[in-house]
Amino acid sequence: MEIKLADNSGFCFGVKRALDITENEINSFSQGKKEGKLFTCGPLIHNSQVTDSLAERGCRIIDNLQEASKGDTVIVRSHGEPEEFYTKAEEMGINLVETSCPFVSRIHQLVKNAHDEGKNILIVGDKSHQEVIATNGWCNYQAIIVGDGDDVKSIPGGEYFIVCQTTIRKELLDDIVAKLDEENIKYELHNTICNATTLRQDSCKKLAEESEAMIIIGGRHSSNTRKLYEISKKCGADTYFVENINELPLKEIQKYNKIGVAAGASTPESAIKEVIAKMSEVITNVNEEVTMEDFMDEIEASTRLPRNGEIVTGTVHQVSDKEVIVNLGCKKDGILPADEVTLEEGETLTDVFKPDDEIQAKVIKTDDGDGSILLSKKRLEISEHWTEINEAHENRDIINVKVVRAVNGGVIAAYKEVTGFIPMSQLSDRFVEADKAEDYIGKTMDVRVTRVDPRRNRAVFSHKAVIMDEKQKQIANIWENLSVGDVVEGTVMRFTDYGAFVDIGGLDGLLHISEISWGKLKHPEEVLSIGDTINVKILSMNQEKNKISLGLKQITPEPWTVISDKYQVGAIVPGKVVQLKEYGAFVELEPGLDGLVHISEVANKRVADISEELKVGQEVNTKILDIDTDRKRISLSIKATLDDVEEEEAAPEAVEESAPEAVEESAPEAVEEAAPEAVEEAAPEVVEEAAAEVEEVKETSEEE
């Protein structure tokens, strides 16, 4: 004979939690930590063995709050209570201990919010079940309760906010929704069926289909146990409903070769094991899948609780927006709160976890106050992240961190769930003022791990180390790819009295003041500004000393080599006085090209002191008198430009002062003074034209 236990049999999370909390309360009263009496309002769970045991130890059942007195403690059962229950308890001075299943409490909140918004509430479930009664009490008992598809026909028209009893079958909900669609009734559906119920029913159905007989263990008044019985019978297996070992039909089951066992959510593990063990004892030649030795191992495993800090593996039992319930294979379930899971922005627990997922977590507390084991994924991840940081430290790997806040002497940066310290001196390869730490908050940066102390949860990072490594690579690349004579682009970074430093892609080169311009400069800022992008020529390189000399003036031709292209003797050109001497002034025509204005060429008068006539920096016009390319000398004259101006100004006056007679007399004389040869050679027509022009000038003069 083969005996097999269905998966997900026995206490659900809510029942386990309620019993653990109640056990803690019983212990508190027995130790004298609390006064008054201890009650549960109605049976805590639908199992008389359990409730009788609780009563024997001082936790009796009452039917309503009126049976308790001021100062007494009443445990709210896992199926929950209506809203008015809490109000009455407060008025009577009764202490309440909450054991409502978190998933039932969530339904209560959904219903209350919808009712406050004026929505019509529809509850799918058994109207006599405590959970449904309690839920209806959170909308002032105004909900419509639907138990099957036939009830839909009596529903008034309108739009409904639908919730479900946690223990109903999914098929029932689907049938009711289909009927609502047929009646064209609008609704907003919230499927609040407990996943544990679905898993338990599916497991029972699967096992019943494979078995000749099924033993269903649970309380007679347990709704979910009755549903398991119905499911098993529908599958065709001979089904027996037993509440305890005494009701087990031992003689009848001996005829079966394959027996399945399933248990309701209110059935303790001890009852399940007793039933299976009893069947094993009385049936001879049993080839069991589950032996007594297996049961003893299971009992030992189920009674052992993990230690704080231990990493455990479990199966996701149920997921809500606030927490994940994890089956750890022991007598307590694990609770993984949302704030102990690393979630992306907008992500929820239901996006990350699904029922039956296997997960690992770290135990924070073996008792979270509600009888469960408090778990954390974050703490586990932190352990893993410390391992990654240690490896990065040992291997000199680069990790990416985000600066989260400024502290004295630096900033705190986060690597995943681990934080470390970055000193101010390690934020950059340049000096950072202490009051500038705030500017780095929210920025991500690559760092090296320079020190790790996992025992004290401390790590030190350096962004400067990464920058310096990158610079070394860039510098090595620059030395490898540059040659003397290359023209490269650079950025002016800073000035000194003797030149400027230019960044040519990660390496600074010196642009000496003498290499900036063909002319003379007192300071580089006369022609350059910080941040300017310029093309420079590499004049020399010394990798051992890490020095590069640059030239800017070499980018343009030396002025004397192209002087003939731009300047000719007799041309008038502008310039700037750059130097005064006793014998004259030097005028710069362009950088690197100066000419001398001798003191005698300054003005149309005798000049004794040249400084009385000219100032350094003065803009002047000069006339080129001579260019000596061999000796690189240019002779200039300011006076000559003045003479030209005076002649131009005098010419109109001379014409106006000339009498008509002068014009008249001059014309014949001009003809007579023409060379005889020219006159002789001139054609008669030319002579006539000249005479006509003279006559024309004469007539014009007379008119004037």
Q: So which residues are the catalytic ones?
A: 131
Backbone angles phi, psi at 211, to 5 degrees: -110, 155
Q: Could you identify the residue written with the tokens 């209506």?
A: 82
Name beta bridge partners: 596: 586, 635
Assess contact for 182 and 153: CB atoms under 8 A.
Answer: no
Secondary structure (3-state) at 611: helix
Number of C-beta neighbours around residue 107 at 10 A: 25
Q: Which two tokens stand for residue 158?
A: 């309108």
CA distance 487 to 484: 9
Task: List the alpha helices (DSSP H) in 31-129.
Answer: 48-56, 83-92, 102-116
Pairing relationship of beta strands 458-462 and 311-319 according to DSSP bridges: unpaired
The distance of Cα 81 from the centroid of its chain, to the nearest Å, equals: 43
How far apart CA 421 and CA 414 sit, in angstroms, is 9
Report how far Cα 480 is from the mean position of its chain's Cα atoms.
39
State the Cα–Cα distance between residues 266 and 11, nearest whole angstrom.
5
Taking the C-alpha atoms of residue 221 and residue 227, their distance in angstroms, rounded to an integer, is 11
Query: How many alpha carbons fall within 13 Å on the CB side of residue 89?
Result: 21
Q: Partners of 522 in the beta sheet? A: none
Backbone angles phi, psi at 205, to 5 degrees: -60, -45
Rounded Cα gap, residues 3 and 280, in angstroms: 9
Q: Where are the alpha helices (DSSP H) in 235-284?
A: 250-253, 269-282
Find the DSSP H helices in 556-683: 563-566, 639-657, 660-672, 676-681
Sequence-ordered list of residues with C-beta below 8 angstroms from that of 694, at least 6 positions apart, any chain = 667, 668, 670, 671
Quote the CA–CA distance of 421 and 431 in Å, as a whole number: 17
What does the alpha-carbon distance between residue 408 and residue 101 come to, in Å, rounded to a whole number? 47
Residues 6+ apart with CB under 8 A from 257: 1, 2, 212
The Cα–Cα gap between 46 and 267 comes to 8
Residue 671 DSSP one-character state: H
- With 0-12 / 13-18 / 19 or more C-beta atoms within 10 angstroms meaning exposed / middle / buried, residue 498 is exposed
Task: Return d(Cα 480, Cα 472) in angstroms, integer.
Answer: 12
Closest CA to 228 of 243, 212, 208, 248: 208
Q: Where are the beta strands (DSSP E) in 553-615?
A: 572-581, 584-590, 593-598
| Euclidean distance between CA atoms 587 and 480, whole angstroms | 45
Amino acid in position 219: G
Distance CA 431, CA 411 (A): 15
Instruction: Quote the DSSP letter at residue 127.
Output: T
Rounded CA-CA distance 266/409 in Å is 59
| β-sheet with 73-76: strand ranges across | 59-62, 38-41, 73-76, 95-98
Encode burial over 614-644: b for 16+ CB neighbours within 10 A, e otherwise.
Answer: beeeeebbbbbbebeeeeeebbbbbbbbbee
Q: Cβ(76)–Cβ(42) under 8 Å?
A: no
Give 501's strand partners.
494, 510
Coil/strand/helix, residue 5: strand
